[in-house]
Structure 1
């Protein structure tokens, strides 16, 4: 079922026609839909080395093109700064054949999509995640700061959204307990650490694994300056308690930074459990797993 109101339909035949018309050099390559946990793009493989991403939510053509160009710029900025594979932008496509928006082509990154529990007990995987976060943080912000919307700035700016999530989660989650957690988390001050570069969305669906290790990271278009605690969401989305502590040690996180990482994981998890409970079970399940980990740590007083 659709994940969003007025969600666009993208079919393999449509993608094949667009590729043949706009990129004839790829016309002999097979086009096939790719099963994905993604929530904002339909993904298709073009041959063995390329993927095409089609935005699913209706928007203005010019705004979509600017967003895709920004994503490509972010991918180029990240390229070469980490030893882990990330997509490289290849081309931008135009509307056509019933699809109303621009679309993008990137390199294919091999690996298996991570799950909330698949590598959760691996200390080696935790070390890999910490290394990726550290490498991203080391990228020069060039004086840029948080852009002012979404996760990564002021926790209290998410109060209204959390109220919506609590209301929608009645009967799905222990809302009373979760309200109490948010009442504490939302008060965490920003702290003295300056904005650093962050991936911005280190959830299982954007992490690739191979042989139990981090193989690559997807959806890098959100790369940008933000609260350095933002990428710590991965500690609760992807790791059990022991490896989570190894990640913290690797990054040298002080208490405030670590607690703010919990807060960002809480915001993200609360938003996906109810919203995707029928349309994207993998994402909804991730949210439940993350909240259970956060509750367990609260009980333990960590």
Structure 2
């Protein structure tokens, strides 16, 4: 589930349209049932294809690059990561009135974790740290630049604008002065001076799958690439309670400056998402509120 806000007018895609795309390009699967899978994502639509596959189609032109990124990198990432990732089974092309490339993936079982409803948050924190550590240790050459892996300062204008927007929405109850103070501390933190590291770069709860409380898969690698390691600390505040957050940090050995940047990046994403999604995407709005509360409680 991507949180990128690329186009306010997503393309409508119907079950019947997907059936026609499958029948025309992959006739071996033409008889399988097609049903839209509910998701809080705003960049891609997902449709179950039978019991073992899922079709993923961009809803905006800005999401088309995700398709090519995943086709190129997922096969290489899968062999090096401790957690299951999506497997591209077929590469679809435009057709039936649909204008962009799309893909068929193997279905990965599991459920999205919910902040405040984790059965074993410490074990999940350890699993997440293992995944992030494995990403950071990748030596794959030719990596793209991660979608949100650049300097924190590039987020400044949008973050300040979001804080001002939330001042005008008092019913959300956001302490905008406190949020502005956290953001100011983020900007003062030393930037990353080491080599860029591999990142997933969109570790939202909607992009994680768990089974029996353990991390079973990580999905949606459209943002992946190299950048500031702080970008993969999002789960510390968008999912984990404080004790598990500490386990996550210790397992990754995060220094103070990277922790401050990670917290600020996570807050920035939530501040920007909340006014944008508060009336249109309940899942994203709820997680944004959770992040704001968690970050401001930490101080």
Do both proteins adopt the same fold according to a TM-score greater than 0.5, normalized to the shorter chain? Answer: yes
Aligned-partner SS, 2:82: coil
Judge conservation of contact 1:151–1:264 (CA < 8 Å) in 2.
no
The Cα of 1:105 is off from its aligned counterpart by 1.4
Separation of aligned partners in 2, 1:242 and 1:267 = 23
Q: Deviations over 1:1-57 (max 9, x none)?
A: xx8532210111111111111110101111111011212001001111211111111
* Match 1:29 to one of 25, 28, 32: 32
Which sits farther off after the overlay, 243-252 or 187-196?
187-196
Superposition TM-score, scaled by structure 2 size? 0.91
The Cα of 1:70 is off from its aligned counterpart by 1.9
* Match 1:49 to one of 52, 57, 63: 52
Separation of aligned partners in 1, 2:116 and 2:194 = 31
Aligned-partner SS, 1:219: coil
Q: Which residue of 1 aligns with 2:221?
A: 220
Q: Which residue of 2 aligns with 1:90?
A: 89
Q: Which residue of 2 aligns with 1:243?
A: 244
Separation of aligned partners in 2, 1:104 and 1:156 = 35
Superposition TM-score, scaled by structure 1 size? 0.90
Judge conservation of contact 2:22–2:29 (CA < 8 Å) in 1.
yes
Residue pairs, 1:115-194, within 5 angstroms: 115-119=114-118, 122-142=121-141, 144=143, 147=145, 150-170=147-167, 171=169, 172=172, 173-194=174-195
| Residue ranges of structure 2 left out of the alignment (5+ in a row) | none
The Cα of 1:122 is off from its aligned counterpart by 1.6
Which sits farther off after the overlay, 284-293 or 261-270?
261-270
User: Displaced runs of 4+ in structure 1, greater than 6 A?
Assistant: none
Separation of aligned partners in 2, 1:191 and 1:92 = 37
Q: Aligned in 2, Cα 1:121/1:295: closer, same or farther, shift over 3 Å? A: farther
Q: Which residue of 2 aligns with 1:100?
A: 99
Judge conservation of contact 1:141–1:225 (CA < 8 Å) in 2.
no
The Cα of 1:241 is off from its aligned counterpart by 0.5
Residue pairs, 1:262-273, within 5 angstroms: 262-273=263-274
The Cα of 1:71 is off from its aligned counterpart by 2.1
The Cα of 1:210 is off from its aligned counterpart by 0.9
Root-mean-square deviation (CA, aligned residues, Å) is: 1.9
Separation of aligned partners in 1, 2:189 and 2:148 = 14
Judge conservation of contact 1:120–1:238 (CA < 8 Å) in 2.
no
Q: Aligned in 2, Cα 1:150/1:160: closer, same or farther, shift over 3 Å? A: farther
The Cα of 1:221 is off from its aligned counterpart by 2.7
Judge conservation of contact 2:36–2:48 (CA < 8 Å) in 1.
yes
| Residue ranges of structure 1 left out of the alignment (5+ in a row) | none
Aligned-partner SS, 2:148: coil
Separation of aligned partners in 1, 2:217 and 2:27 = 29
Q: Which residue of 2 aligns with 1:10?
A: 13
